[in-house]
């Protein structure tokens, strides 16, 4: 009986430059390739979703490697085995982690990029900001493109607006307060104990900002893209994803809604069809794909607000709140304070976001 070739999984740590907090990091990196494949047909990087880690996608990587792809995966900072404070990662810093991962791929073969949920949003953000990277295709699995809280419908969006204002404010003052994530808790029940259980408001604020910028610039996306989402996704709103798909200006775009699949597309029991659809889409585009070496890797990110400026705004806000509070107590008009302070916070939220 002929023995099937084995899959080689090589794990190591990459040295990442200091983050916005001036803390150097080590990122957990994995390369997956079939042992008998000397000339892979293409590279593919796989980026995990919010709270997840790369090991959850080893099965997908092994599947692609069996068709002569070489796969590259990474634990984003603050997730899995990588360094960084758990649950307090910044959107822009995670984009830099992907830039480091791109530097590990071969330059003489085509490159595809695949991300799930948050990972898809990070990759799409790279695409809209950097229109000239020689990437052969983007695969977005249940992309996180709705800046509102996911999986819930609200009347007129009023609650969601006030929720966003609250996150903008508290993310500035109390950024390390943790917020539980429903999807993460569901994975923890399945024994995935490396999942990050909670995320900080500072991280939520940066995600809201990054996703809002992604939506604003969606028309600049010009790469081939394939969006896959399950009809039973209760985390990312399918209608919002379809709206984002319509905004994309690419001449080569496709979207597949797979029945009876949840948000966890690759970990779902019915993930076989999704894998087949993705593979077929990539194989078709390989015919006209070019090596990744034809482009220079220089990912555009947005500058972070200066820590000194953030501290100044925080002190001014506290001083203003204290002054209004004392005035309201002196006149015994708590309602006046509440109204004035609410107006101030709403105006301030636009300034700090």
Residues 112 and 91 in one domain: yes
321 shares its domain with 270: no
* Residue 160 belongs to a domain: no
Arithmetic mean of pLDDT, 148-152: 44
Asked if the structure places residue 131 within a domain, the reply is: yes
70 inside domain: yes
Q: Can you read off the two tokens belonging to residue 342?
A: 């609410």
The pLDDT score that the predictor gives to residue 64 is 97
Band of residue 16 on the pLDDT scale cut at 50, 70, 90: confident
Q: Which of 6-20, 155-169, 190-204, 280-294 has the lowest mean pLDDT?
A: 155-169
Last residue of a domain, which of 294, 318, 342? 294
Residue of 177 and 38 predicted with greater confidence: 38
* pLDDT value for 166: 53
Q: Tell whether 317 and 230 lie within a shared domain.
A: no
pLDDT band at 234 (very low <50, low <70, confident <90, very high): confident
Within a domain: residue 190? no
Q: What is the model's pLDDT at position 159?
A: 39
Please tell me the least confidently modeled range out of 30-34, 136-140, 208-212.
Answer: 208-212
Q: What's the rounded Cα separation, in Å, for the pair 54 and 41?
A: 22
* From 127-136, 192-201, 269-278, 336-345, the region with the lowest mean pLDDT: 336-345
Model pLDDT, residue 216: 92
Whether residue 253 is contained in a domain is answered as yes
Question: Does the structure show a pLDDT above 50 at 1?
Answer: no
Q: How confident is the model at residue 311 (pLDDT cuts 50, 70, 90)?
A: low
Average pLDDT, the chain: 78
Whether 211 and 318 map to the same domain: the answer is no
Query: 7 falls in which pLDDT band (50, 70, 90)?
Result: confident
Query: Given this model, what pLDDT does residue 196 score?
Result: 76
The DSSP H or E segment spanning 183 is helix 182-189
**Residue 337 burial (C-beta neighbours within 10 Å; 0-12, 13-18, 19+):** middle
> What pLDDT, on a 0 to 100 scale, did the predictor assign at position 312?
61
Assigned domain for 75 exists = yes
Answer yes or no: is pLDDT of 87 > 70.
yes
Which domain, by its residues, includes 253? 7-152+206-294
Output phi, psi for 351, to 5 deg.
-75, -35
Judge whether residue 174 has pLDDT over 80.
no
Q: Is 285 in the same domain as 322?
A: no
pLDDT bucket at 306, cuts 50 / 70 / 90:
low
- Largest CA-CA distance found in the chain, in angstroms, rounded: 90
Report CA-CA distances (Å) from 237 to 91, 232, 308: 21, 10, 37
pLDDT in tens, 177-213: 444 454 444 444 444 567 777 777 788 888 888 999 9
Q: Are residues 107 and 239 in the same domain?
A: yes
In the DSSP assignment, the letter for residue 9 is E
Residue 111: what are its φ and ψ, rounded to 5°? -130, 130
- Residues 215 and 328 both lie in one domain: no
Determine, yes or no, domain membership for 223. Answer: yes
pLDDT-derived band at 228, boundaries 50, 70, 90: very high
Interhelix angle 58-65/272-285, nearest 10 degrees: 50
Q: How far apart are CA 136 and CA 226, in angstroms?
A: 11
Together in a domain, 285 and 330: no
The model's pLDDT over 270-289, given as tens digits with 9 standing for 90+, comes to 888 999 999 999 999 998 89
Of 50, 48, 5, which Cα lies nearest the Cα of 29? 48
CA dist 71 and 44 (Å) reads 5
Q: What is the DSSP letter of 296?
A: -
Alpha carbon 244 to chain centroid, angstroms: 15
The pLDDT assigned to 271 comes to 84
Q: Choose the weakest-confidence range: 54-63, 159-168, 188-197.
A: 159-168
Lowest mean pLDDT among 35-39, 68-72, 213-217, 345-349: 345-349
- 286 in the same domain as 229: yes
What pTM did the predictor assign? 0.78
pLDDT of residue 342: 54
- CA-atom Rg of the chain in angstroms: 22
Is the predicted pLDDT of residue 82 greater than 70, yes or no? Answer: yes
- Domain annotation covers residue 330: yes
290 and 325 both lie in a single domain: no
**How many domains, in total, are found in the chain?**
2
């Amino acid at each position: 009986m002929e023995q099937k070739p084995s899959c080689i999984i090589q794990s190591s740590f990459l040295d990442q430059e200091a983050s916005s907090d001036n803390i150097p990091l080590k990122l957990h990196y994995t390369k997956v390739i079939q042992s008998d494949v000397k000339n892979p047909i293409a590279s593919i990087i796989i980026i995990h979703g919010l709270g997840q880690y790369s090991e959850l996608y080893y099965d997908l990587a092994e599947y692609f490697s069996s068709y002569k792809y070489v796969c590259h995966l990474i634990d984003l900072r603050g997730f899995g085995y990588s360094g960084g404070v758990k649950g307090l990662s910044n959107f822009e810093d995670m984009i830099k982690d992907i830039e480091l991962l791109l530097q590990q791929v071969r330059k003489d073969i085509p490159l595809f990029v695949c991300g799930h949920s948050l990972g898809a949003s990070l990759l799409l953000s790279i695409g809209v900001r950097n229109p000239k990277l020689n990437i052969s295709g983007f695969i977005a699995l249940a992309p996180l493109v709705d800046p509102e809280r996911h999986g819930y419908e609200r009347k007129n969006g009023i609650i969601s607006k006030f929720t966003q204002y609250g996150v903008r404010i508290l993310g500035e003052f109390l950024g390390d307060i943790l917020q539980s994530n429903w999807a993460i808790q569901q994975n923890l029940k399945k024994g995935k104990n490396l999942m990050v259980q909670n995320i900080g408001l500072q991280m939520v604020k940066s995600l809201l900002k990054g996703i809002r910028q992604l939506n604003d610039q969606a028309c600049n996306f010009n790469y081939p893209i394939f969006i896959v989402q399950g009809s039973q996704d209760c985390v990312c709103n399918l209608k919002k994803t379809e709206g984002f798909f319509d905004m994309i200006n690419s001449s080569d775009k496709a979207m597949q809604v797979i029945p009876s699949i949840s948000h966890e597309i690759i970990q779902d029991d019915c993930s076989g069809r999704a894998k087949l659809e993705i593979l077929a889409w990539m194989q078709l585009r390989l015919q006209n794909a070019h090596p990744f070496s034809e482009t220079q890797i220089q990912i555009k990110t947005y500058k972070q607000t200066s820590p000194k400026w953030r501290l100044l705004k925080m002190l001014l806000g506290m001083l203003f709140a204290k002054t209004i509070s004392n005035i309201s107590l002196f006149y015994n008009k708590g309602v006046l304070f509440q109204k004035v302070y609410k107006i101030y916070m709403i105006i301030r939220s636009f300034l700090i976001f």
